[in-house]
Structure 1
Amino acid sequence: MSKPTFDMDAAIEALKAGKGLTGKDGILTPLIKQLTEAAMQAELEQHLENDEDSNRKNGSTPKIVKSAAGSFELNTPRDRAGTFEPQIVKKHQTHLTDELERKIIGLFALGTSYQDIRSHIEEIYGINVSNGTINAVTDKLLPELHAWRERELERIYPIVWLDAIHYKIKENGRFITKAVYTILGLTVEGKKELLGLYLSEHEGAHHWLTVLTDLHNRGVKDILIACVDGLKGFPEAIESIYPKTELQHCIIHQIRNSLKYVASKNQKAFMADLKCVYKAATLNAAETALDELDTKWGEKYPVVIKSWRNKWQTLSAYFKYPDYVRTAIYTTNAVEAVHRQFRKLTKTKGGFPNENSLLKLLYAGMLQASERWTHPVQNWNLTLSQLSIHFAGRLDDHIDL
């Protein structure tokens, strides 16, 4: 009995009737089955020609294969000696191509829930996939994530931003809050690069010493300016690993923290006076404005003024630079933009069953965010020229000026 062949006339009629090309009962599914089986038969015949021992065909074994065009039963040819190893569809392979896996990972990288991924695959391809399958597919990101976290980094980063975002992760049967510390660097070429993601229950000098030691071991020997949001223990840690790095506390974080202690009825007036401090043209003007802020509001809000006084050295570091450099370093907005991308991915997740489930999702989101980092930041050449003056000698081996 001859094998059934793809009926072109019937396919055309089905197409006219509006039947789909792919998916469940798709028009192309029989054709893909026919082409795949023909290719595997050709593989077997080639194998038999090259086999020095007496060997011959020995029927076929059916199995269900999933493809982007839909699921179908594939008859895999066998040989009598059992030495035939098909390459087009290998033994135990149940997906015809990696297209489905790419689709699953693509949906996962958008923050799509497992339930919605299952529904999407069912609707488009007519294939049922389990949560276990989706998890197994997305787990393939973990070796990539590990390699990415261990990769060698540039020797020097002119600017590095650091910030944290918090998530609930299940441990020992209960959910605990952990911080993911994101380190975003700016290369000598002015392009953003996410240097690492570090998970921790606690922040402090010991934790930051571990993070900075990791960066140093991966090749980062110098950082010119580190922009942080007042992270505990960070100044002490960076002093021990990168003693020549200049620290800039994020002005925006300092403002937000200050307003927590200012009565709502006074916030508008207080902010108008505070703006004269951080928007001042020079350091002297900023210090004069801070004195005036102290005179007017110090008695009412001593905690706020004391905070600005205590951190003034690192809050005011940006005043030594022109506007286009100040814009880059006075806030951690650059890394907060990465966190906004992360929040889009995780906004429907109440918590994560383990650390890997969180990290592989953030890694997928990082890959998407970094696709846009193909051009230098604005005014980078001017900024680099200024930095080469303020940090004399430290950029000489890395740029041509």
Structure 2
Amino acid sequence: MAHYQITLDDQTIQALVGQKDQAFALLLQQVLNQVLEAEVTEHLQADRYERTEDRRGYRNGSRSRQLTTRVGTLTLEVPRTRDGEFSPTLFERYQRHEKALVLTLMEMVVNGVSTRKIRRVTEELCGTEFSKSTVSDLAKGLEAAVQQWRTRSLAETPYPFLIVDALVLKIRENGAVRSRSGCVVTGINAAGYREILGFWIGDSESKQTWTAVFTDLKDRGLTGVDLVVSDDHRGLRQAIEQQFQGASWQRCQTHLTRNILDAAPKAVQDELHGRLRALFEAPDRATVDT
């Protein structure tokens, strides 16, 4: 374990005695700069201007780098060496914490947390706030991960059952808000586990849109489809029949229930809904007949 000898100047000591707001930031900044200098000395096996047979290189000035902490933003002078091999352990630890913070902020973006709330949280945690452009950059950082997920191979696991549906989404494009169809396909494997296979945005829910969706799934290796569950949209059914020949189709119970209730008088909808659920959840045909 390394041992460091830390010295403080008069300004820092007076600030600590006077309990000024920036005192601890100034103290921490001086301490960390001396730690960095001690680390480069240990790395080179030689102090400044020291001539020794054990020397493993030479200093090459320093570069300023800011470090945000709970007590404020510190300006550190990071030593450099001619061979460029010196890497302070201080920043290795900091980068791990920074990465964890960025991943947390990304998760907040995915979950729909507003930019204003994100700025408030980061200000509370770090003593500084993230601008809207920074949050936007964090969202862009998700694109590679999302693209990797969207294009992943499906060849290893057969999915006998597919559940297919579309959502109407409001999307901002070129300064205007437009309605788009978000197509979602969920696969169920032989063990009964569900997995979202993909998500696509289309201009509308049509045969062409769903054909493109199913073609993409098959290009990624989707096989073994025996049953597809969806609503009764004509274009969707045509795409299913075309892309999964030989597979059975079943109308989604949720959509069927919704269609029936929409056609029924409001006074009987609650009772009718209960009867439909009992019908769909019946364990056998005899229970249904009774």
Q: Distance in 2 between matches of 1:119 and 1:276?
A: 48
**In the alignment, residue 122 of structure 2 is paired with which amino acid?**
I
Greater RCO between the two (CA within 8 Å, min separation 6)? Answer: 1
Q: How many pairs align?
A: 265
* TM-score of the aligned structures, taking structure 2 as reference length: 0.73
Cα deviation 1:113-160 (Å, max 9, x = unaligned): 111111111111112221111221232111111111111014520222
* TM-score of the aligned structures, taking structure 1 as reference length: 0.55
CA pair 277-110 structure 1, distance change in 2 beyond 3 A: closer
Do residues 117 (structure 1) and 112 (structure 2) align? no
Do residues 245 (structure 1) and 247 (structure 2) align? yes
Residue pairs, 1:2-401, within 5 angstroms: 4=7, 35=35, 38-39=38-39, 42-43=42-43, 49-50=55-56, 56-66=58-68, 71-79=73-81, 83-84=83-84, 86-88=86-88, 97-153=98-154, 154-267=156-269, 278=280
SS at match of 1:151: coil
**In the alignment, residue 220 of structure 1 is paired with which amino acid?**
L
SS at match of 2:117: helix
CA RMSD of aligned residues (A): 4.0
Which 5+ residue runs of structure 2 have no aligned equivalent? 47-53
Give identity over the alignment, percent.
Answer: 25
**In the alignment, residue 75 of structure 1 is paired with which amino acid?**
E
SS at match of 1:223: coil
Q: Partner of 1:387 in structure 2?
A: none
Shift of 1:106: 3.3
Q: Distance in 1 between matches of 2:65 and 2:209?
A: 52
SS at match of 1:105: helix
Q: Distance in 2 between matches of 1:279 and 1:78?
A: 70
Q: Distance in 1 between matches of 2:157 and 2:226?
A: 12
Cα deviation 1:13-40 (Å, max 9, x = unaligned): 9xxx9x9xxxx95997776665556445
Shift of 1:265: 3.4
CA pair 39-135 structure 1, distance change in 2 beyond 3 A: farther
Is the 8 Å Cα contact of residues 222 and 245 (structure 1) preserved in structure 2?
A: no
Shift of 1:276: 8.0
Q: Distance in 2 between matches of 1:192 and 1:158?
A: 11
**In the alignment, residue 128 of structure 1 is paired with which amino acid?**
E
The structure with the greater share of residues assigned to strand is 2
Which 5+ residue runs of structure 1 have no aligned equivalent? 290-401
**In the alignment, residue 145 of structure 1 is paired with which amino acid?**
V
Is the 8 Å Cα contact of residues 68 and 99 (structure 1) preserved in structure 2?
A: no
Q: Partner of 2:51 in structure 1?
A: none
**In the alignment, residue 243 of structure 2 is paired with which amino acid?**
I
Q: Distance in 1 between matches of 2:29 and 2:134?
A: 22
Is the 8 Å Cα contact of residues 222 and 242 (structure 1) preserved in structure 2?
A: no
SS at match of 1:233: helix
Cα deviation 1:28-82 (Å, max 9, x = unaligned): 7776665556445545669x9555xxxx324423221235775311111134x5x
